[in-house]
Structure 1
Amino acid sequence: MKMFAGKGRWKREVTGYEEWMSQLPSELHSIPLFNLSIPGSHDSMSYDLDIHSSILEPDRLKKFSRIYCARKIVCKWAITQEEDITKQLDSGVRYFDLRIARKPNDADPTRLYFHHGLYTRTDVKTVLNMMNDWAERHPKEILILALSHFKGFDKKIERPLHTHLMNAIKTLFGSKLVPRKGTPTLKICWENKRNVIVSYDYRRNHHPELWGAIKYVYGNSMNPINVETKLCQELERTPRPFKGFLVCGLNLTLPEDVRIFKYILRLCDNFPNVIHRSLPRLLQWVNEQASKTPMNIIASDAATRDQFVATVVQLNISKHA
């Protein structure tokens, strides 16, 4: 951390992001994690999509799963992250949007993958092991893993699959799990040697070690102006101070009706390009909006690009300088 003078008092700035939480000023160690500004990645595993898998979404393209060109188009417009999980962690991302799916007719009934339009190549067990290893090497960095969606969890297998996955998560992370009871702070997490928070979006999740669903607000539009307007509305109606985690999603969202073809049929464009054109404007909005309405977790597409992490982390220093 470096310090510099400004307007008659000292201000501090985090200079490295692999361990940015441990660099925060001591006065931030005892505030609720709900009140910290935390960078996150939207559809965190989308860098790993398998072009050879069937199409899960959008519904209008599912029937074209056997056509390579159709899968290629879906892949172009479903990739929201460019770097793998380890690089996202190293860059300072601390919230992960992990969407789970089971492939039909898989020989292993408990093997699970991630998804966004297509299935991923890497399974859930492998990625969670990677995150657990990273958490062990960085005990002062708090990871927030949000597991949701659970495609392919048919009614006959839904309950045993969820039970298996929740028990596997508890076994893997063990004593590193932050229980959902109480209000976590950096200081409390560090003192108890716990640095993994798992949000599991399932109605039968009664495990005290696993948190429930985290509210995620987003603009539901491909237009950054519309995204900003919707997020402003959501933030203004949210009670303060936060009583739990809240995700403010900067992500752009493709239409679910025929308007989707306006985007996916652009031969010389793709989702990462669209994101890179819009992210600077959205980050400017974040800086302006944060002075009016506090934001907790801020999630983005292309979370490792364009100073996203630096902008979000610096909000903590700016508002407590």
Structure 2
Amino acid sequence: MTSPVHHATREFSRVALVTCDLFPDLWEDDHPLRDDLRARGIEVDAVRWDDPAADWPSYDLAVIRTPWDYVPRHTEFMAWARRVPRLLNPADILEWNTDKRYLGELARAGLPVTPTGFVAPGATWTPPAEGEWVVKPTVSAGSQDTGRYQLPAQTALAEAHVARLTGAGRTAMIQPYLPAVAELGETALIFLPDETGDLSYSHAIRKGPMLRGPGEGARDPGDEQIDPRTPTDAERRVADQVLTAVPGGTKRLLYARVDLIPGPDGEPLLVELELAEPSLFLSSSPAATTRLADAIAARL
């Protein structure tokens, strides 16, 4: 363990931007943040979360960015997060947010969440009679292991997908496919710390559809269409409501992303609340890069 003297005598601050071996030099969208921090005289390293040589106590702050290979090693990832001092977002938030069963918790709290059913290992699933449905595991990233199915024509495929997930000891989740995503896209609202240290709205983007079609899987992360977007008043209200439900409050968070799609009545529904390792689309907002770097510097 690094001694307090080491931190006290060091003339510069050190920040680890946490990644994985898929992006050893970080995802390109995080390069502006890295460069901004370095311009402030802060030493910044891109460090794999599972690097056995990483000296986590030597960093003044470890910021989760792109550890996107954690899904099949979720237990190992969470054990790592609990060992890292000065981790943002904190480990208990990662544990809550990396399992999408939190959507059920938010729905029970009365928030407008995309209707979601869950099928635990060993449980049986009765498919809906008709409609277009999305099947995916509750622990996933980048639409991994996700399928979109038209029922009843593809009921057998959907059932096989659910069985495949639960048979591997994973919990499956089933949601209606929201057709508004094809025309209007998905609105991702990004929240960063303000001058008070609490999260407030920063910027938003439009994401095009991720799922290619029934049974065809999802686009690779980074391949979807991304455009700047001004959220509606309704989207701002829903996003604010969702953030009030974050366990422990938002003041201890470094970032949050709220993903919304219009439901059948046109009102925004929560698709995901991203607190673990979201793309923040900093390349589309230089002001957001500065704001996030300010927040990191303040935490140091």
Say yes or no: TM over 0.5: no
- Higher relative contact order by CA 8 Å / sep ≥ 6: 1 or 2? 1
Relative to its length, the structure with more helix (as a share) is 1
Which TM-score applies when normalising by structure 2?
0.29
